[in-house]
């Protein structure tokens, strides 16, 4: 069964760090484009970052560039998002998702909530 | 880059057709054929309904269709059903190889 399960969310103070994980089952993450997309409470979707199957292409939204790092663990078949210098406005549900290309994502996880607050 | 522009809400009665617009620029919607549409029910993860402007993933009803003209893409839902009530988001690949989402449209089935 093709599935994505996010973990690692929680409450963190402004300026702090957090590492999100996304465990994949039923497929190999290195065969697909993998992305992180977030949704602030009551707000719309915002693309955060994606990594290509080869791993050579990694892109970030301007709002997180220099603070977030996407990575992949091919042995554990998982995707990660290292977040640092967190801001209150980073508070959101973070989803990981899979796509055949970098423009559309068909398989989504249930999301993990990140709350940045003092 | 600013988010794509969608109407905040649309509504329709069962059996009717509705269209949701998604307006971007010549650097995203107008430049490329990579517009997608997602449906999101409350508390659930988004579901891909349309990709590459007008293609439906396997399992998505043919009541959902997409199109594009210039800088504006559209999602049409025909034969509206109660289960279609949800938030809908468009997204577009950009000339910078990034992704932009629209602000979302709340569809109410009257």
Q: How do residues A45-62 score in pLDDT, each as one tens digit?
A: 999 999 999 999 999 999
Can you tell me the mean pLDDT for B5-27? 97
Q: State the Cα–Cα distance between residues B97 and B34, nearest whole angstrom.
A: 11
For residues B31 and B82, is the Cβ–Cβ distance under 8 A?
A: no
Name the closest residue on chain A to residue B60, using Cα atoms: A106
Q: Does B37 touch chain A (CB under 8 A)?
A: no
pLDDT exceeds 90 at position A101? no
Spell out which residues of chain A touch residue B102, defining contact as CB-CB under 8 Å. 44
Q: Is B99 on the interface with A (CB under 8 A)?
A: yes
Region A32-38 average pLDDT: 97
Instruction: Give me the pLDDT at residue B79, please.
Output: 97
- pLDDT at res. A102: 85
- Among candidates B41, B48, B43, which has minimal Cα distance to B75? B48
Which two three-digit tokens encode residue A12? Answer: 């963190």
Please give the residue of chain B at the shortest CA–CA distance from A48. Answer: B99
- What percentage of chain A exceeds 70 in pLDDT? 100
Residue B83 contacts residue B102 (beta carbons within 8 Å): no
CB atoms A104 and B52 under 8 Å: yes
Question: Average pLDDT of chain A?
Answer: 97
Cβ contact A62:A56 at 8 Å? no
3-state secondary structure string, chain B? CCCEECCCEEEECCCCCEEEEEECCCCCCCCCCCEEEEEECCCCCCEEEEECCCECCCCCCCCEEEEEECCEEEEEECCCCHHHCEEEEEEEECCCCCEEEECCEEEEEC
pLDDT of residue B1: 66
Span B40-64, pLDDT tens digits: 999 999 999 999 999 999 999 999 9
Which B-chain residues 58-87 have CB contacts (< 8 A) with chain A?
none
Interchain pair B48, A106: CB under 8 A: yes
Q: Can you tell me the distance from the alpha carbon of B48 to that of B31, in angstroms, rounded to the nearest whole number? A: 21
B88 close contact with A: CB closer than 8 A: no
Place of tokens 């057709």: B17
Adjacent-strand bridge partners of B86: B107
pLDDT surpasses 90 at B2: no
Each residue's pLDDT tens digit, B66-105: 999 999 999 999 999 999 999 999 999 999 999 999 999 9
| Chain A residue nearest residue B1, CA to CA | A62
């Amino acid at each position: 069964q093709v599935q994505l399960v996010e973990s690692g969310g929680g409450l963190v103070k402004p300026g702090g760090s957090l590492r999100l994980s996304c465990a994949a089952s039923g497929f190999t993450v290195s065969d697909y484009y993998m992305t992180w997309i977030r949704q602030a409470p009551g707000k719309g979707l915002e693309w955060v970052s994606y990594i290509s199957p080869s791993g050579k292409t990694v892109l970030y939204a301007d709002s997180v560039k220099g603070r977030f790092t996407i990575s992949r663990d091919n042995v554990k078949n998982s995707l990660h998002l290292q977040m640092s210098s967190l801001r209150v406005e980073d508070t959101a549900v973070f989803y990981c998702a899979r796509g055949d290309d970098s423009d559309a994502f068909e398989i989504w996880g249930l999301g993990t909530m990140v709350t940045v607050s003092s | 880059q600013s988010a794509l522009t969608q109407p905040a809400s649309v509504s329709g009665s069962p059996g009717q057709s509705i269209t949701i617009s998604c307006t971007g620029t010549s650097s995203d919607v107008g430049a490329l054929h990579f517009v997608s549409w997602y449906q999101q029910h409350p508390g659930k993860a988004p579901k891909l309904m349309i990709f590459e402007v007008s293609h439906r993933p396997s399992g998505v009803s043919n009541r959902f269709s997409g199109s594009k003209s210039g800088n504006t893409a559209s999602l049409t839902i025909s034969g509206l059903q109660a289960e279609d009530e949800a938030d809908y988001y468009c997204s577009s690949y950009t000339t910078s190889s990034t992704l932009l989402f629209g602000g979302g449209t709340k569809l109410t089935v009257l």
